[in-house]
Amino acid sequence: MENVALIESFSEFKDDKLIDRVTLMAILEDVLRNALKKKYGDDDNFDIIINPDKGDLEIWRNRIVVANGEVEEPNQEIELSEAQKIEPDFEVGEDVAEEVKLIDLGRRSILALRQNLIAKIHEHDNTNIYKQFKELEGEIYTAEVHHIRHRAIILLDDDGNEIILPKEKQIPSDFFRKGENVRGIIESVELKGSKPAIIMSRTSPVFLEKLFEQEIPEVFDGLITVKKVVRIPGEKAKVAVDSYDDRIDPVGACVGMKGSRIHGIVRELGNENIDVINFTNNIQLFVTRALSPARVTSLKLDEENMRAEVLLKPEEVSKAIGRGGHNIRLAGQLTGFEIDVFREGAEEDVELSEFSDEIDGWIIEEFSKVGLDTAKSILELDIEDLVKRTDLEEETITEVIKILREEFEE
């Protein structure tokens, strides 16, 4: 490869990678100097002149003329007779500048030089990509489906950057085809070796928060603040919002007429059910609102232990708990309180914990997680509903119901 050929490929990199000229020239000089060190042992006495616009590359080796037979450092010194072949009037003690052609480095060195050049440019490119996407962490980003794998979808953006959307970061109902655009947040960016690993997420609460910013002008403008977001991806979410302007109804502004504003967000999230709640510093009121759509009869707070005892009419209990226990679980996450549900007129009811001699503790715990902590709260529901709400097997639930019925029959 001639000097000019290397410069041509050098120019291609400049055009393709959009690296500024100064940086690219520094990379090329660094690669050349490494090659010279390998060939001659040192590069201090070499001058490298690069002119990418003209396609010029010159390497000059500077040596001192010494008497014949007195060369001790071949890279630093040249015999008088050799120097006079370059210029007949050279004398001992003078400096000789001799041009080095790439071909003088040897074929293998030239191939290695080009490979090193490519590697250095990619390394620089990867560093810039890492910095670029590190600044985008927590922001919404759109990229196109390039390849679908079992455990992840590989996306490419308009600049050809690879973004990974792992299976566990996808909403359960997500289904994408090659060439389709996908939105999510840049959740994390790490350097794996020299290559950046860019991870996208569609399940993060931050994604929902950023969708509110994108889709609702008052949130974007800062007139409405998203205080907290909790979600079970693809199933249900609760978003607490607040406004410092009393003239603005934050919930109404976010939902819109007949849900018009929030509809696009719901559709983006695979029809995830989104409850928008007015935030308040009044904890009792906030817990009450968090249990929406259930209507709370009364509420008792234990702020020291972060527990809330909620009394509900029987017909409101299933609303408070929600399908699969989603509503009460998210209400707890939103408020930070452990919420215990009690029914009005449940004086004749029996706490499930009273059956600990007959029912294993872990089974009682599973029922309690979804707000079913009394005998009647379980007996009021059919087996199919109980299977959906808990992680228990049908046989286990049948056995529990049998034990509870025997108690009341007695």
The 10s digit of each residue's pLDDT in 258-283 is 888 999 999 999 999 999 999 999 99
Q: What tens digit of pLDDT does each residue of 66-78 get?
A: 998 888 888 888 8
Is residue 286 very low, low, confident or very high in pLDDT (cuts 50, 70, 90)? very high
What stretches of 291-393 show up as alpha helix (H) in DSSP?
314-321, 326-335, 361-369, 375-379, 383-389
pLDDT at 82 over 70: yes
The closest alpha carbon to 138, from 81, 200, 82, 94, belongs to 200
Q: What is the pLDDT of residue 13?
A: 53
pTM over 0.75: no
Q: What pLDDT score does 145 carry?
A: 96
Q: Give the pLDDT mean for 136-140.
A: 94
Residue 105 has pLDDT above 80, yes or no: no
| C-alpha 232: how far from chain center | 18
Instruction: Say if residue 225's pLDDT is above 70.
Output: yes
The mean pLDDT of 219-223, rounded to a whole number, is 93
Q: What is the pLDDT of residue 347?
A: 54
For residue 198, the model assigns a pLDDT of 95
Confidence grade of residue 250 (pLDDT, cut at 50, 70, 90): very high
- State which of 201, 224, 256 marks the end of a domain: 201
Q: How remote is the C-alpha of 281 from its chain's centroid? A: 31
Same domain (yes/no): 79, 178: no
Lowest mean pLDDT among 86-95, 193-202, 293-302, 337-346: 337-346
Q: Mean per-residue pLDDT for 170-183?
A: 94
Cβ neighbours of residue 32 under 8 Å, at least 6 residues apart? 48, 59, 113
Out of 131, 164, 189, a domain closes at: 131
Q: Which domain holds residue 36?
A: 3-131
One domain, residues 74 and 151? no
Q: Which CATH number goes with the domain that contains 227?
A: 3.30.300.20
| Residue 310 placed within a domain | no
Contact 297, 314 (CB under 8 A): no
Together in a domain, 9 and 126: yes
In the DSSP assignment, the letter for residue 89 is T
Q: What is the pLDDT of residue 142?
A: 95
Q: Is the pLDDT of residue 25 over 80?
A: no
Residue 221 inside a domain? The answer is yes
pLDDT at residue 39 in the model: 83
CATH code for the domain in which residue 67 is found: 3.30.1480
Same domain, 167 and 243: no
Of 329, 345, 387, 367, residue with least CA distance to 404? 367
pLDDT tens string 304-349: 999 999 988 878 888 888 888 899 999 999 999 999 888 776 556 7
Regarding whether 7 and 118 lie in a shared domain, the answer is: yes
Same domain, 19 and 114: yes
Give the confidence band of 83 by pLDDT, cuts at 50, 70, 90.
confident
258 and 209, same domain (yes or no)? yes
Number of domains in the chain: 3
Q: Is it the case that residue 100 has pLDDT exceeding 60?
A: yes
Q: Of 88-97, 198-207, 336-345, where does mean pLDDT reach its minimum?
A: 336-345
Say yes or no: 23 and 82 in one domain.
yes
- DSSP class of residue 72? S
What's the average model confidence in pLDDT over 46-56? 74
> Residue 128: its pLDDT value, please?
81
With a cut of 70, say whether residue 216 has pLDDT above it: yes
pLDDT band for 20, please (50, 70, 90 cuts).
Answer: low
Q: How confident is the model at residue 5 (pLDDT cuts 50, 70, 90)?
A: low
What average pLDDT does range 345-361 have in this prediction? 76
Of the listed ranges 169-173, 175-179, 391-395, the one predicted with least confidence: 391-395
Does 210 share its domain with 269?
A: yes
Q: Let me know if residue 392 belongs to a domain.
A: no
**pLDDT, averaged across the chain:** 86
Instruction: Determine, yes or no, domain membership for 376.
Output: no
Q: Output the domain CATH number for residue 150.
A: 2.40.50.140
pLDDT at residue 404 above 90? no
Indicate whether 191 belongs to any domain: yes
- 234 within some domain: yes
Q: What is the pLDDT of residues 373-391, one digit of tens each?
A: 788 888 888 888 888 888 7
Lowest average pLDDT, out of 29-33, 123-127, 156-160, 382-386, goes to: 123-127
Closest CA to 228 of 240, 236, 237, 219: 240
Q: Is the peptide bond before 205 cis (omega within 30 degrees of 0)?
A: no
